[in-house]
């Protein structure tokens, strides 16, 4: 399964008011693993950013004037998202801007370029109703460092959102690999990837005598703490069961 996490920065809030995309960042995820394949583009919008937008992304008109205009990179973007599930936080915002840019270039709307679009903000709201679900809040909730996010940047935000998305959907993880957990075949049984799994290549780790002694010492401390036999002892989980 191929997914693309996408983010944009813009000159303002409404493409209908002439605002444009100034930065696009895309990060690729294949089988729930982030790859080193990404797309990062700065764009010349042929206009100034609103002061509020400039404070958010810090991309000046002078800097952006040295970069290509959207029609010059449209094919590159279309190729990157082709056949992928595109994950966007607050997708309605980015999609309306990208579709407006594509329309100016006489190209189809953005949703037609990819397999599907998933709004991670809507998913987060379902998981955490009534809580803050912006990117910073989700990073904090899942223990993802975002201290370096002093300004918004499309690629940086896409990278952070990729980490957040994998954390939000971690229920799919398993010993067999992130992409295989819960997989079923067409008849409802285990998928061929699971049923054909060969465990003979897994390493067998032996417990040393030193490890056993350390385990017993730890259980002794537990016994003292509870004033009798700890649950581990009562369940027969001493060093002879390790």
Residues acting as catalytic residues: 152
Q: Identify the CA nearest to 165 among candidates 141, 182, 194.
A: 141
Asked if 135 and 157 count as a contact pair (C-beta separation under 8 A), the reply is: yes
Q: Is 81 helix (H, G, I), strand (E, B) or coil?
A: helix
Angle ∠(10,11,13) on CA atoms, nearest 5: 75
Number of other CB atoms surrounding residue 10 within 10 Å: 28
Q: Identify the CA nearest to 45 among candidates 63, 21, 17, 24.
A: 21
Tokens at residue 15, please? Answer: 């493409």
Angle ∠(181,186,187) on CA atoms, nearest 5: 100
Asked if 74 and 43 count as a contact pair (C-beta separation under 8 A), the reply is: no
Tokens at residue 80, please? Answer: 């990157």
The strand pairing partners of 41, in sequence order, are 24
């Amino acid at each position: 399964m191929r997914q693309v996490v996408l983010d944009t920065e813009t000159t303002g809030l409404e493409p209908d008011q002439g605002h444009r995309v100034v930065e696009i960042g895309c990060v690729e995820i294949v089988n729930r693993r982030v790859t080193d394949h990404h797309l990062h583009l700065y764009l010349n919008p042929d206009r100034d950013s609103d002061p509020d937008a400039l404070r958010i992304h810090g991309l000046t008109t002078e800097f952006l004037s040295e970069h290509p205009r959207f029609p010059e990179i449209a094919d590159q973007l279309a190729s990157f998202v082709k056949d992928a599930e595109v994950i966007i936080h607050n997708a309605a915002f980015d999609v309306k801007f990208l579709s407006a840019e594509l329309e100016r270039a006489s190209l189809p709307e953005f949703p037609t370029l990819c397999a599907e679009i998933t709004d991670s903000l809507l998913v987060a709201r379902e998981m955490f109703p009534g809580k803050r679900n912006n990117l910073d809040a989700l990073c904090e909730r899942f223990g993802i460092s975002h201290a370096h996010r002093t300004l918004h940047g499309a690629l940086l935000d896409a990278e952070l959102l990729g980490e957040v998305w994998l954390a939000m959907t971690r229920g799919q993880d398993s010993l067999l690999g992130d992409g295989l957990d819960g997989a079923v075949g067409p008849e409802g049984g285990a998928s061929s990837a699971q049923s054909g799994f060969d465990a003979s290549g897994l390493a067998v780790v032996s417990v040393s005598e030193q490890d056993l002694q350390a385990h017993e010492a730890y259980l002794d401390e537990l016994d003292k703490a509870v004033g009798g036999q700890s649950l581990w002892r009562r369940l027969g989980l001493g060093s002879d069961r390790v």
